[in-house]
Amino acid sequence: MDQKIPTMADMAAQGQEPEILFWVGCAGSFDERAQKITRDICKILQHVGINYAVLGTEESCTGDPAKRAGNEFLFQMLAMTNIQVLDGYNIKKIVTGCPHCFNTIKNEYPGLGGNYEVIHHSQLIQQLIDEGKLRAEGGESFKGKRISFHDPCYLGRGNNVYEAPRAALEILDTELVELKRCKSNGLCCGAGGGQMFKEPEPGKKEINMERMVDILEAKSQIVAAACPFCMTMLTDGVKHHDKEQEIQVLDIAEITVRANGL
């Protein structure tokens, strides 16, 4: 990274409060592939000069996987602890790198006393494009590439965010090809509801393989993702079909960074 990543603790020590907290999430913190996306989101924030910070080692799981798997007790323990940390730093606005963190903090924390303005990084990118602060120039050209967006459940159906991630792709000089099952009809990657952490129940195929049918049919050269769990599932799907040369799976933050040569 060109610049040091600012933490809330450092900022507080200097008596500063950032404009926005970047909530990285567990996958963004630990998963090697997702770490790269996390750094790209930081690059975007730095590029446009937003005063941001991360929680660093003070961040914890939002409780999403516990809640979806039925462990409400564990979820609320984490939520209340996180709310104490967030309120301790007087945080008002949060951008997340994961639709699951986004959904949980935005929708489920208010009932437990945590009230913040929460956006997903696709919405941040859309805002920056609308404000003219982000363009698609000075970097890699996506001209003529067939790009498809895979809607994450907790961004799309869960929170009705369908246009923001597409805005990040529409700005590219490229062909946006919708998958057969898209937007409110989008097919899950198979990771949600705790499935990421367990073996699937017996069936005739894996859900990400079913999703590959749509991707192959659309002849997508780039599959754009906006969720680290979808990223894992889609990448596995592409690998399974030996299509790594033909199909790239990229987060919209990575695409934005590449298009701008950041």
Partner 1 sequence: MIAQVIFIIILGVAVYLFAKNVAKIRRNILLGKDTDRSDQSSERWKVMAKVALGQTKMVKRPLAAVLHFFVYVGFVIINLEVLEIMIDGVFGSHRIFSHPLGGLYDLLIGAFEVLALLVLTACIVFLCRRNIVHLKRFTGVEMTKWPKSDANYILITEILLMSAFLTMNAADYKLQLLHFSHYVKAGSFPVSSLIAPILPDNAATLEIVERVCWWFHIIGILAFLNYLPYSKHFHILLAFPNTYYSNLNNKGKFTNMASVTNEVKAMLDPSFVPESTGEPARFGAKDVTDLSWKNLMEAYTCTECGRCTSVCPANITGKLLSPRKIMMDTRDRLTEVGNNLDKHGKDHDDGKALLDSYITREELWACTTCNACADACPVNINPLEIITEMRRYIVMEESQAPASLNNMFGNVENNGAPWKYSQADRFNWADNE
Within a 13 Å sphere around the CA of 129, how many CA atoms are in the beta-carbon half? 25
Min dist. Cβ of residue 53 to partner 1 (A): 12
> What is the radius of gyration, based on Cα positions, of the chain?
18
Distance CA 131, CA 125 (A): 10
The nearest distance, CB 75 to partner 1, in angstroms, is: 8
In the complex with partner 1, the residue whose CB is nearer, 142 or 229, is 229
Residue with Cβ nearer partner 1 (26 or 168): 26
Phi and psi, residue 23, nearest 5°: -90, 110
Minimal distance, residue 136 CB to partner 1, in Å: 24
* Distance of closest approach, residue 152 Cβ to partner 1, in angstroms: 9
- Helix then strand then coil, in percent of the chain rounded to 5, is 45, 10, 40
Closer CB to partner 1, residue 100 or residue 166? Answer: 100
For partner 1, the closer of residues 135 and 205 by Cβ is 205
